Amino acid sequence: MAIFKGAGVAIVTPFKANGEVNYEKFAELIEFQIANGTDAIIVCGTTGESSTLTHEEHLDVIKYCAEKVAGRVPVVAGTGSNCTETAIYLSTEAEKYGVDGLLLVSPYYNKATQKGLYAHYKAVADSVKIPCILYNVPSRTGCNILPETVVALCNDVENIVGVKEASGNLSQVARLMHLADGKVDLYSGNDDQIVPIMSLGGIGVISVLSNIAPKETHDICAKYLEGDVTGSMKEQLRAIPVCDALFCEVNPIPVKKALNLMGKEAGPLRMPLTEMEDANAAKLEKAMKEYGIL
């Protein structure tokens, strides 16, 4: 059975002005998501600035999220790394906190071969008992997990259950699902491709948009899963301008700005990420107003 179906939020990690994790605001963001129908919370992913968290912070944020959610929706912890041993360490620790699954980004910078990707993912998944979702995002990692590799891992490793596909390549996704034979849980990794990917057999999205529009993102998925494809498509198309604005600078720069515009006090970014350019911030604010969330 899938870890979740629908819209899972790739939740931000709020910081105080001094750079510390702001757990008070994090709790408020979690409650905002649950109150507005989010289907899962994905903690310490790219949007959560995991790459600038220390290992201790990374694990503390995962533990806090699992405890605060307390089983109300599934929690998926981002525990991937470009170092296999680090990914194993983070994954085995996260499992102890009672998370429902893991999101494992493809090893970045190393640019492993498909053989290397297979070995990496198998080693990490074999170190835990909870289900694992692969995360394919070549634009950030420099490494593409080919459909054949995804399918082999889902067939060969019992607790590798699916993939978050953020390649943007719908032809690749179509080939993946052709080969999958129903054995791969597919999630969109791009908010502007939720409906296209669900039309190829996807069961939801791991979403940046959901940080600021949890109900709307949930509805795109729920309508599709209920058979209202036209209604889902209309909601997808209505969201395109705000999706574009959320990615006019590298994620999570715009989404943190958006949350701050909403008064959610997500705080600053950690370097090397910097605050949004004024012109892009104005574009984002305009799109949010037109979408009805400001």
Tell me the per-residue pLDDT of 76-107, one tens digit each, with 9 for 90 and over: 999 999 999 999 999 999 999 999 999 999 99
Instruction: Say if pTM beats, i.e. exceeds, 0.75.
Output: yes
Residue 164 predicted with pLDDT over 90: yes
Is residue 164 situated within a structural domain? yes
Which whole number is the average pLDDT over 245-261?
98
Other beta carbons within 10 Å of 181: 10
Report the CATH number at residue 13: 3.20.20.70
Indicate the pLDDT class of residue 159, thresholds 50, 70 and 90.
Answer: very high
Tokens in use for 260?
Answer: 């701050």
pLDDT at position 207, please?
98
∠49-215-98 over CA atoms, to 5°? 50
183 carries an active-site annotation: no
Q: Is residue 241 part of a domain?
A: no
- Cα–chain center distance at 73: 15
3-state secondary structure at position 37: coil
25 belongs to a structural domain:
yes
DSSP 52: G
pLDDT for 231 equals 98
Q: What residues make up the domain containing 190?
A: 6-226
DSSP 210: G
Domain annotation covers residue 233: no
Candidates 5, 25, 63, 164; catalytic one? 164
Residue 170 lies in a domain: yes
The reply to whether 69 falls in a domain is yes
pLDDT tens, residue by residue, 186-222: 999 999 999 999 999 999 999 999 999 999 999 999 9
Angle at the Cα of 195 from the Cα atoms of 266 and 190, rounded to 5 degrees: 40
Tally the domains of the chain: 1
The mean pLDDT value of the chain amounts to: 98
At 245, is the pLDDT very low, low, confident or very high (cuts 50, 70, 90)?
A: very high
Residue 164 is a catalytic residue:
yes
Question: Residue 1 has what pLDDT?
Answer: 79
User: From residue 111, how far is each of 47, 143, 151, 291 by CA, in Å?
Assistant: 22, 5, 20, 39
Q: Is the pLDDT of residue 235 over 90?
A: yes
pLDDT in tens, 134-155: 999 999 999 999 999 999 999 9
Say if 156 falls within a structural domain.
Answer: yes
Among residues 118, 121, 135, 224, which one is catalytic?
A: 135
Residue 257 lies in a domain: no
